[in-house]
Amino acid sequence: MNRPILASIHTAAFQHNLGRVREMAPKSKIWSVIKARAYGHGFEAALKGLASTDGFALLDIEDAAWLREHGWKGRILLLEGFFHENELSRAAEFACDLVVHCDAQVDWLEGFKWKYHQPFNVFLKMNTGMNRLGFKPEAYRTAFHRLHAAGYHMHHMTHFSNADQVDRLPSVASQQELFNKTIVGLEGVTSLANSAAIMWHRNALGDWVRPGIMLYGASPTGLYADIQHANLQAVMQLESEVIDVQELEKGDRIGYGGRFEATGPMRVGIVACGYADGYPRHAKDGTPVWVANNKQGVICPLVGRVSMNMLAIDLRNAPEAGVGTSVQLWGDKVPVDDVAMMSDTIGYELLCAIRHEYLLLLSN
């Protein structure tokens, strides 16, 4: 690919962020969550940067196969278990741990002849109020006993709806209380906390934490201040270049719909990156873009609607910038959370949408 767009993945930042999780949850083991191709960062980078994790949690058995082929010998957790019975022998072959969240899975597991393999470690998922996946407390104990009787190693899991907000229901405390009450007397370890719980609910961590977004240096709430406070680093840096410069007069407008109108003479830089590349089309005027401006970096605001493969920036802060000048759309100089906030979404969505062919692995 010749267009000057690149998402460089800094594996040292992965190591740093994983180290921060260990400091915040010193008594817990870590499932590093790498669903959605490691939140858009690619499995290769995740395997390299997060090699000292205790396990990887993901969704697709084919991705588990990839990890095994590339030498991962630690634990793997399939976060939604299996989607059909015919995946079970491969899950056993790759020594995956399974989340089990519904009766159909329990039926299939009872019928599965695991005796040719090791029995699975099962993290049985309790629905404590999120109402997405999992068993309600009454059904939970029944499912637990059925799988226990079938010879599986049983553990406990739930997921919080609101670990990043204080005033929403159900609360972390209510979910945690229901979870603890339901597993009384049952053997097995526990897994509860996503990034938000690790950052803000240190009494709700459990034996295995499940950080996702914080490993990538973005915030569960979308506020960059959280990232600074937790001392996390951006892993992905999305970079491109100015490919044209337009000189505007007062009253000139930019791009589709003419959303931005110049109030006086100004230089506008056209950057090779648009919504087809993963930059949000809904980014508002003023969304920050970092521009190299002859080695002295400055922030220049986005102006006008984002196109399929281009966007425009106000170069009044960057008089030295011209064709070929480097820009950073997000990364260490522009928090992805700030771009997301200006686009009415969260960093998760932006990171996941980056095209695989733009990824470049860097070890610093």
Ligand X SMILES: *Cc1c(COP(=O)(O)O)cnc(C)c1O
Q: Which are the contacts of 300, defined by CB distance < 8 A and separation ≥ 6?
A: 269, 288, 289, 290, 291, 313, 314, 315, 316, 317, 318, 321, 327
Decide whether 165 or 246 has the Cβ nearer to ligand X: 165
According to CB under 6 A, which one of 32, 162, 194, 221 is a site residue for ligand X?
194
256 has catalytic annotation = yes
Count residues contacting ligand X (CB under 6 A)? 12
CB of 282 to ligand X, least distance (A): 22
Q: Is there binding between residue 159 and ligand X (CB under 6 A)?
A: yes
What is each CA distance from 288 to 184, 269, 291, in whole angstroms? 51, 13, 10
SS3 sequence of 64-115: HHHHHHCCCCCEEEECCCCCCHHHHHHHHHCCEEEEECCHHHHHHHHHCCHH
x/- map, 64-83, ligand X, by CB under 6 A: ---------------x----
CA-wise closest residue to 276 among 237, 245, 306: 306
CB of 117 to ligand X, least distance (A): 24
According to CB under 6 A, which one of 15, 195, 237, 287 is a site residue for ligand X?
195
- Pick left, alpha or beta for residue 43 (phi over 0 → left; psi -120 to 50 → alpha; otherwise beta): alpha
In eight-state DSSP terms, residue 161 is S
Decide whether 204 or 254 has the Cβ nearer to ligand X: 204
Catalytic residue among 29, 35, 48, 284: 35
Q: Is there binding between residue 220 and ligand X (CB under 6 A)?
A: yes
Decide whether 58 or 327 has the Cβ nearer to ligand X: 58
CB of 325 to ligand X, least distance (A): 34
Site for ligand X in 265-284 (CB under 6 A): none
What is each CA distance from 124 to 29, 133, 260, in whole angstroms? 17, 10, 53
Site for ligand X in 5-34 (CB under 6 A): 33
Q: Is there binding between residue 42 and ligand X (CB under 6 A)?
A: no
35 has catalytic annotation = yes
CB of 211 to ligand X, least distance (A): 5
φ, ψ for residue 98, nearest 5 deg: -120, 135
| Cα gap 127→134, rounded to integer Å | 5
Decide whether 21 or 262 has the Cβ nearer to ligand X: 21
Decide whether 11 or 32 has the Cβ nearer to ligand X: 32
| Cα gap 148→306, rounded to integer Å | 54
Site for ligand X in 229-248 (CB under 6 A): none
| Interface region with ligand X, contact rule CB under 6 A, candidates 68-76, 134-142, 209-217, 303-311 | 209-217
Cα 267–Cα 269–Cα 275 angle in degrees, nearest 5 = 145
Catalytic residue among 256, 275, 333, 358: 256
Q: Which two tokens stand for residue 66?
A: 């990839």
Q: Is there binding between residue 211 and ligand X (CB under 6 A)?
A: yes
Residues annotated as part of the active site: 35, 256
* Contact residues: ligand X, CB under 6 A: 33, 35, 79, 159, 194-196, 210-213, 220
